[in-house]
């Protein structure tokens, strides 16, 4: 019996090593060679677009609609805690939030996690996201209403409540190029070298 086990181990040993390498290598590659997020501005629309009304809730369960933010520029980011590109971009979105006054630009990250605000609250704590408010839509209706096909997707809305730009995929939101581009669009002065804390 021992001989049969040793023979099996000798034959399957290289396979186990290969499978183990495929399991560990992506983790190590990501750990030591983190990919850079794209420094790409939103794709701006030639003509502003109407948006369907959406309902989201904050961490206390209070309901909000996009209409409640009219009068402000709004950057809506649709994301989830289980989405690797979302995880990578959220710290830069937090830094972007620290650069703009909420009267100039309201940043609304909407999590579509089915578990709701508890998971998001833990995620915010883990990643030190202290400049962003928590908004959730566990039903993911916001994705349908805003025609979102994948996450992360970010939508820029003007003061009249019309979509004026969109970015599908992650971005380095705190890069000078994006910060200055947004400042030009909304007519705000910001300090792009300002870092939280």
Among candidates 59, 132, 38, which has minimal Cα distance to 93?
132
CATH number of 43-186: 3.40.30.10
pLDDT of residue 157: 96
Instruction: Give the domain ranges of the chain.
Output: 1-34, 43-186
Confidence (pLDDT) at 42: 87
Report the pLDDT value the prediction gives residue 104, as an integer from 0 to 100.
84
Say what the pLDDT of residue 96 is: 95
Is pTM beyond 0.75 here?
Answer: yes
Q: What is the largest CA-CA distance in the chain?
A: 78
pLDDT given at position 102: 79
pLDDT of residue 192: 53
Please give the Cα distance from 125 to 107 (Å, whole number). Answer: 18
| 167 phi and psi angles, rounded to 5 deg | -130, 125
Q: Minimal CA–CA distance to 135: which of 191, 195, 80, 190?
A: 80
Give the pLDDT of the chain (197 residues) as one tens digit per residue: 567 766 666 676 566 666 655 655 555 544 555 557 777 788 999 999 999 999 999 999 999 999 999 999 999 999 999 999 999 999 999 999 999 887 889 999 999 999 999 999 999 999 999 999 999 999 999 999 999 999 999 999 999 999 999 999 999 999 999 999 999 999 876 555 444 43
Closest by Cα among 170, 168, 163, 169 to 185: 163
Q: What is the pLDDT of residue 13?
A: 59
Whole-angstrom Cα distance, residue 74 to residue 83? Answer: 22
Asked whether 132 and 107 are in contact (CB, 8 A), the reply is yes
Q: Give the model's pLDDT for residue 194.
A: 46
- Note the Cα 123 to chain centre separation in Å: 12
């Amino acid at each position: 019996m021992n001989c049969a086990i040793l023979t099996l181990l000798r034959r399957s040993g290289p396979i186990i090593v290969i499978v183990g390498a495929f399991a560990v290598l992506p983790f190590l590659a990501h750990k030591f060679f983190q990919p850079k997020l794209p420094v790409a501005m939103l794709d701006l629309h030639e003509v502003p677009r109407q948006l369907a009304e959406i309902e989201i809730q904050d961490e206390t369960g209070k309901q909000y609609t996009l209409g409640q933010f009219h009068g402000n520029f709004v950057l809506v980011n649709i994301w989830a805690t289980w989405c690797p590109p979302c995880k990578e971009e959220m710290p830069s979105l937090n830094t972007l939030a620290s650069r703009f006054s909420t009267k100039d630009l309201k940043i609304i990250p909407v999590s579509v996690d089915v578990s709701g605000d508890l998971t998001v609250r833990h995620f915010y704590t883990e990643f030190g996201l202290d400049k962003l408010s928590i908004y959730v839509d566990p039903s993911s209706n916001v994705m349908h209403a805003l025609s979102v096909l994948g996450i992360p997707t970010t939508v820029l809305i003007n003061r009249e409540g019309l979509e004026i730009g969109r970015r599908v995929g992650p971005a380095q939101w705190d890069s000078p190029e994006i910060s200055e581009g947004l400042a030009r669009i909304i007519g705000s002065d910001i300090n792009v070298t300002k870092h939280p804390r």
